[in-house]
């Protein structure tokens, strides 16, 4: 068992330190709280949305194969349109709580990696509904989330997976709690839950996939995410299949 007090202090420092982004950002962090900075980013994103809509139109004219990396963070993908809030350096500034800023049926693929766990399950369905809306018929969605189910299985078993992926925590339960609660997480995931949510949002041929195993070429997965990420893919039904089902 590690030192609980030291762990708590280190986690607090990590939550307020943020990513290295130069002297200006370091100074701002010393005089403002994480919550205040997050609010400023969201307000900046809201202010940028009219220009973002215009940029979307330009990007649609420039790309034949339109692929969206939603909630891209710093893990931008070449050949994809990276979408995130101000401060992340995306191609398009946008808050996913306000939908996806692309027209109906205009997108070939959507990728969300370590994004959905930041939403409540109700909001997740809204995000997935938007993804299905913007996808073309037979368009693909790929989602990666922290594999909380595997951590629970490890906790109830030999705990090897926990020690391998989150070593040095004061207790195994604290390590598992990080997956559920750290970084502003609002939902937890296992294979059944992820498949169920994609199916509920109207996707078909939903299946769990291993890292790098994708119908999308090349696979968009981030290597550093491999050890503890659960992936799944689904397809938007084509219009004829949807019509036949309705009849």
**What token pair was written down for 200?**
């509920």
Within a domain: 155: no
Within a domain: 79: yes
Compute the mean pLDDT over every residue in the chain, rounded to the nearest whole number. 90
Identify the residue whose tokens are 């994708």. 214
- pLDDT of 54 reads 96
Among residues of the chain, what percentage have pLDDT more than 70? 88
pTM of the model: 0.88
Within a domain: 27: no
- Whole-angstrom distance, CA of residue 43 vs CA of residue 37: 10
- Whole-angstrom distance, CA of residue 101 vs CA of residue 70: 11
Within a domain: 161: no
Within a domain: 237: yes
Within a domain: 5: no
- Show the low-confidence residues of the chain (pLDDT under 50): 1, 28, 247
| Full residue range of the structural domain in which residue 226 is found | 32-147+189-246
Within a domain: 17: no
Q: At 44, which CATH number? A: 3.40.50.150
- pLDDT of 9 reads 87
Structurally, how many domains does the chain consist of?
A: 1
- Whole-angstrom distance, CA of residue 222 vs CA of residue 207: 19
Within a domain: 109: yes
């Amino acid at each position: 068992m590690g030192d609980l007090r030291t762990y708590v202090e280190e986690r607090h420092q990590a939550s307020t330190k943020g990513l290295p982004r130069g002297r200006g950002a370091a100074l701002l962090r010393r005089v403002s709280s994480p919550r205040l900075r997050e609010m400023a980013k969201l307000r900046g994103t809201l202010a940028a949305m009219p220009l973002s809509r215009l940029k979307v139109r330009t990007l649609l004219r420039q790309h034949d194969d339109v692929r969206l990396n939603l909630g891209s963070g710093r893990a931008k993908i070449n050949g994809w349109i990276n979408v995130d809030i101000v401060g992340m350096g995306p191609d398009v500034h946008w808050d996913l709580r306000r939908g996806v800023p692309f027209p109906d049926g205009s997108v070939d693929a959507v990728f969300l990696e370590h994004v959905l766990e930041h939403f409540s399950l109700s909001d997740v369905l809204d995000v997935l509904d938007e993804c299905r809306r913007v996808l073309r018929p037979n368009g693909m969605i790929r989602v990666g989330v922290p594999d909380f189910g595997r951590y629970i299985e490890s906790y109830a078993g030999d705990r090897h997976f926990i020690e391998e992926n989150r070593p040095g925590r004061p207790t195994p339960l604290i390590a598992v709690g990080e997956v559920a609660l750290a970084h502003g997480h609002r939902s937890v995931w296992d294979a059944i839950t992820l498949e169920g949510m994609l199916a509920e949002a109207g996707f078909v041929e939903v299946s769990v996939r291993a890292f790098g195993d994708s119908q999308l070429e090349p696979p968009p997965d981030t290597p550093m995410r491999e050890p503890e990420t659960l992936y799944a893919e689904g397809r938007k039904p084509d219009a004829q299949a949807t019509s036949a089902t309705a009849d």
